[in-house]
A and B are shown apart, each in its own frame.
Chain A
Amino acid sequence: MLSRLVLVSGHTLKNSGSFGACLVQASRSFHQSSQSLAPVPPLPEKGGKVRHGIFPEELFTLLYPKTGVTGPYMLGTGLLLYMLSKEIYVINHETFAAASIGAVVIYGIKKFGPSVAAFADKINEDKVAKAQEVKDQAMASLTQGIEDEKKEQWRVEGRHMLFDAKRNNVAMLLETNYRERLHMVTNEVKKRLDYQVELQNLHRRMEQEHMVNWVEQSVIKSITPLQEKESIAKCIADLKVLAKATQARATV
């Protein structure tokens, strides 16, 4: 029970990440040996057996073949009596103090031992649960990563469709561009040809007008003053005849 507390405090001293029992061994041997030790073997469940708190079980197994079950106890009693009688162990005031302290300590251990052990166990359990949770999360995220990777690999198989679509796009762009340029060419050519047509029309019109003007001018010039006087006299004579005719018609 006390060693469980020692273990708890030792862990918090050794690695503040508090990664539970298994990693203390791993961290120690990680820095000492180069061989790989993964997966680290789990801690033993129980420590070496100890009888009456201070005598390791190996002593009892050592003496069992020769002296049976009571051997070590006889050995202990004999040793105790020898030490007392020869005063290798002297009884003085310290003996009394040791006895009182021993009694209190043993009473305390017997009474509170299990509850302290349960408490320390619970602390260890929490640590292990947290580490396990971290590990589970890591595993989950890694499996998720594997799934995503597989999905990406599946997607890669469809890339030829992607390239077909892209090729179509590019072909359409080229086609559009070509048609635009064709349009432009036709327009430009048409403009130039229209210009030439208009130019010829203009030429012809101008020539016509010029000719008409020239003819008019020459006709007007050709009317000499003599002819003008004759035509005016003829007009007056015609007018006189017309006036006489209308006068005659009016009186009748």
Chain B
Amino acid sequence: MADKPVALAQKKLMDVKLGQLPSWLGTRDFTPNGLLGSVRGGYERYYNKYINVRKGGIGGVAMFLAGYIALSYLWEYDHIKHDRWRKYH
């Protein structure tokens, strides 16, 4: 495919090919400021896509809650392990 040449640093994650992934990670900004900036950017993207609209649906909040449920299950897994029904899987 003839894409116009875009620098590796500006590409989004979905456009990066698998082989270029380590070098792409190298260009990312891992300073605390950079991390904060990326968190804020992600939050703003999510907010603008799902919540800051005229007729939002349940999706915006529900996805957030589902993500929270999944994350809290993950954090509690070491404790929930003891409720397993079988010893060998």
Contacts and interface: CB of A to CB of B under 8 A. Distances in A.
A124 B80 CA distance: 44
Contacts of A86: 89
Contacts of A90: 80-81, 83-85
Interface residues of B, number: 24
A140 interface: no
A46 interface: yes
A121 B57 CA distance: 12
Contact of A50 (B52, B57, B81, B84): B57
A85 B85 CA distance: 10
Interface string A20-36: 01001100000000000
Nearest to A124: B54
Given A50-B62, A54-B63, A1 B57 contact: yes
B54 A113 contact: no
A109 interface: yes
A53 B53 contact: no
A190 B80 CA distance: 133
B6 to A, nearest CB: 21
B12 to A, nearest CB: 13
Interface of B: 49-63, 66, 73, 80-81, 83-86, 89
Interface of A: 1-4, 6-7, 10, 21, 24-25, 43-50, 53-54, 56, 85-87, 89-92, 94, 109, 113, 117, 121, 124
